[in-house]
């Protein structure tokens, strides 16, 4: 196969793959009992969720089925092993509530962003902005309480932070760079031979 054709096909494939994955993002989040709407406590839930952002709707009642979530991990601390501490994964949940009444800017902190109705996303007592919470399938896992809160064993934790993770250089980008280097080297060899 001609090297130029090979490089062109490889570059086109990698570009298409990268564009197809562009909507899939990982978000790091923190729910904190110290900020709980129902009263402060020592619990905290931290973790990440990876999903296609096209599923984040503008209807505040939209739930994302767990099979549309790519990956999910939550670590709960501060309550003790018998009161809700533990590590929970995608299999412990049935749905995710992740919506906003107007689009969010994923390049910065989501909590506190002003929306089209001049309210701020992330306030647990305000259902008119959207929601970020979880519906559990495992009774030991935290569950939805208010729009931006989790509930576990009589205690609540309020969402205090959620940001898109900075993407690492992935395999596609590395392969594309490698294809570019190969093309440069082939062209250089041809120039030296002439």
Residue 3 falls inside a structural domain: no
Sequence-distant (≥ 6) Cβ neighbours of residue 176 within 8 angstroms: 10, 11, 14, 15, 18
Residue 119 falls inside a structural domain: yes
Residue 102 falls inside a structural domain: yes
Residue 61 falls inside a structural domain: yes
> Which pTM does this prediction carry?
0.77
Distance separating alpha carbons of residues 53 and 187, to the nearest angstrom: 40
Report the side by side order of strands in the sheet with 86-89. Answer: 86-89, 69-77, 44-52, 24-32, 155-164, 149-152, 143-144
Residue 13 falls inside a structural domain: no
* Strands 130-136 and 69-77, sheet pairing: unpaired
Residue 113 falls inside a structural domain: yes
- Count of domains in the chain? 1
Which residues span the domain enclosing 159? 23-169
- Could you tell me which of 63, 78, 43, 14 has the C-alpha nearest to residue 158? 43
Residue 182 falls inside a structural domain: no
Distance separating alpha carbons of residues 133 and 102, to the nearest angstrom: 17
Per-residue tens of pLDDT for the chain, all 194 residues? 555 555 554 554 444 444 444 599 999 999 999 998 778 999 999 999 999 999 999 988 889 999 999 999 999 999 998 889 999 999 999 999 999 999 999 999 999 999 999 999 998 888 899 999 999 999 999 999 989 999 998 899 999 999 999 865 554 455 455 556 556 556 656 666 66
Measured at the alpha carbon of residue 17, what is the angle toward residues 13 and 21, in degrees to the nearest 5? Answer: 170
Residue 97 falls inside a structural domain: yes
Length of the chain: 194
CA torsion sign for 51, 54, 59, 62 is negative
User: What are the tens digits of pLDDT across the range 16-66?
Assistant: 444 444 599 999 999 999 998 778 999 999 999 999 999 999 988 889 999
Distance separating alpha carbons of residues 47 and 24, to the nearest angstrom: 17
């Amino acid at each position: 196969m001609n090297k130029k054709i090979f490089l062109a096909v490889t570059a086109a494939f990698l570009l298409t793959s990268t564009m197809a994955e562009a909507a899939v993002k990982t978000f790091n989040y923190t729910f904190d009992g110290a900020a709980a709407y129902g009263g402060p406590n020592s619990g905290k839930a931290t973790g990440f969720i990876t999903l296609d952002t096209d599923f984040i709707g503008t209807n505040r009642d939209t739930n994302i089925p767990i099979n549309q979530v790519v990956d999910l991990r939550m670590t709960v601390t501060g309550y003790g092993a018998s009161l809700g501490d533990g590590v929970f994964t995608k299999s412990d949940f049935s749905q995710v509530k992740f919506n906003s009444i107007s689009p969010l800017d994923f390049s910065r902190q989501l909590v506190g962003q002003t929306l089209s109705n001049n309210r701020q996303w992330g306030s647990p007592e305000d259902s008119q902005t959207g929601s970020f919470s979880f519906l559990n399938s495992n009774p030991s896992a935290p569950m939805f309480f208010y729009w931006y809160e989790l509930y576990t064993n009589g205690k609540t934790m309020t969402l205090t932070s959620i940001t898109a993770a900075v993407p690492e250089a992935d395999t596609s980008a590395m392969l594309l760079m490698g294809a570019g280097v190969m093309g440069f080297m082939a062209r250089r060899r041809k120039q030296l031979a002439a």
